[in-house]
Amino acid sequence: MSNEPAGEPHWLSDEEQYAWQSYLHATTLLEDHLDRQLQRDAGMPHVYYGLLVQLSRAPRRRLRMTELAQNAKITRSRLSHAVARLEKSGWVRREDCPSDKRGQNAVLTDEGLRVLEKAAPGHVSAVRAAIFDRLSPEQVGQLAAICRTVADGLQPQGADLPWLR
């Protein structure tokens, strides 16, 4: 847990500090870049686009709210607001879950699918231009391994929230 007595904080080494700074810059710039790209070309922020992608890959283009939130790594609350907005735009529709009366399914509408298919090529281009065109195949593998490791260390088993935190 958090043992930080008044002793020695154990700072980052120069290499670590450099890596951390680079990481922060890269992720900030990239997220910003993709957010603008999608806002301009598809009229929605990156996270919302990610939700449509998840839905498009799901069995009948629908997913339980909680499952969608887990896949996208966001809170249920955030998802609720997001789906409300996407519903207002007509890309997504809510649907009562037959098996559990508490549940809701988020369903990707036909129009949502069209918007997604229209935006996807440009988005992939942007991602490719920012990352995969600039990295060697070995680096892509390295990146995947590093991210897997970091993500695994932050997953569910947290404490008092169902799956996040």
Which residue intervals of 63-136 are DSSP H helices? 65-72, 76-89, 110-127
Considering CB under 7 A, how many residues would be counted as binding DNA?
33
Rounded to the nearest 5 percent, the helix, strand and coil shares of the chain are 60, 10, 30
Q: Do 111 and 84 touch, CB atoms closer than 8 A?
A: no
20 binds, among a copy of itself, DNA, none (CB under 5 to 8 A by kind): a copy of itself
x-or-dash string of contact with a copy of itself, 9-48, rule CB under 8 A: xxxx--xx-xxx-xxxxxxxxxxxx--x------------
Helix/strand/coil for 62: strand
55 binds, among DNA, a copy of itself, none (CB under 5 to 8 A by kind): none
154 binds, among a copy of itself, DNA, none (CB under 5 to 8 A by kind): a copy of itself
Q: What is the DSSP letter of 13?
A: P
**Ramachandran class of 61: left when φ > 0, alpha when ψ lies in -120 to 50, beta otherwise:** left
CA nearest 29: which of 145, 144, 130?
130
Select from 81, 84, 154, 162 the one that contacts a copy of itself (CB under 8 A). Answer: 154
Return the residues of window 63-102 that contact a copy of itself according to CB under 8 A: 72-74
CA nearest 142: which of 128, 153, 131?
131
Considering CB under 8 A, how many residues would be counted as binding a copy of itself?
65
Select from 2, 102, 138, 159 the one that contacts DNA (CB under 7 A). Answer: 102
30's CB contacts (< 8 A; 6+ apart) are 130, 131
Binding site for a copy of itself (CB under 8 A): 2-6, 9-12, 15-16, 18-20, 22-33, 36, 50, 72-74, 117-118, 120-122, 124-125, 127-132, 134-135, 137, 139-151, 153-155, 164-165
Binding site for DNA (CB under 7 A): 32, 35-36, 39, 44-45, 47-48, 64-67, 74-85, 94, 97, 100-105, 162
